[in-house]
Chain A
Amino acid sequence: EDQVTQSPEALRLQEGESSSLNCSYTVSGLRGLFWYRQDPGKGPEFLFTLYSAGEEKEKERLKATLTKKESFLHITAPKPEDSATYLCAVQGYGGATNKLIFGTGTLLAVQP
């Protein structure tokens, strides 16, 4: 069964303090790994899609990396506006096409 585990559950950073969020996954063949950002009371906002081990993608202060077992979302010099819940999801070959399996998210709080 496909599974996604995110850690930590919550993370508090000072503005400018870089850190990483982890997403460990078990999937029968990876079609894609997705990172989303979700603000309270809103739908998830797409950040990145990664397809194969070794792949990296960047957007502003965020960088996502992928290995065969996990993905990291690196946040460099975060700002308060980066505070949100970050969701990781995988799509595997074993399940229905295009079905996403979500982790429970990491709640990030960046203090000024």
Chain B
Amino acid sequence: GAVVSQHPSWVICKSGTSVKIECRSLDFQATTMFWYRQFPKQSLMLMATSNEGSKATYEQGVEKDKFLINHASLTLSTLTVTSAHPEDSSFYICSASKGLAGGETQYFGPGTRLLVL
């Protein structure tokens, strides 16, 4: 159990367009979902945390108007990169946890590679 999927697995888009990435928990209800960004040979950087039905909490330095997060249900969260620019090119990974209590394990999706031309 605890499988998380992401779609698409990779996307290429033109500068100025918007891209939506979906994150789904397939076999459990995810009270909390997280979005990370990872640059080559670097560790994961948390972008935002979202709880179902409420607004996402963004980390310092992450533009909430640029990276729109929606956690509409207990199994689906979406990240929309608005007006994408080449510097937004990166590997985006989501994770999900089953509960709100501290110490809950996060289960990660396979990631989405975004290339902005």
Nearest-neighbour CB distance to chain B for A39, whole angstroms, equals: 10
> How many positions in chain A have a CB within 8 Å of any CB in the partner chain?
24
- The answer, among A34, A43, A51, A105, for a CB contact under 8 Å with B43, is A105
A87 at interface by CB-CB < 8 Å: yes
How long is the Cα–Cα vector from A43 to B111 in the complex, in angstroms?
A: 5
B114 at interface by CB-CB < 8 Å: no
B77 at interface by CB-CB < 8 Å: no
State which size class the interface on B falls in: 20 to 34
Chain A window 91-104, contacts with chain B (Cβ cutoff 8 Å), 1 for yes, 0 for no = 10100111110111
Binding site for B on A (CB under 8 A): 31-32, 34, 36, 41-46, 49, 51, 87, 91, 93, 96-100, 102-105
12 contacts between A and B (CB under 8 A): A31-B103, A32-B103, A42-B111, A43-B93, A43-B95, A43-B109, A96-B57, A98-B106, A100-B46, A102-B43, A104-B42, A104-B43
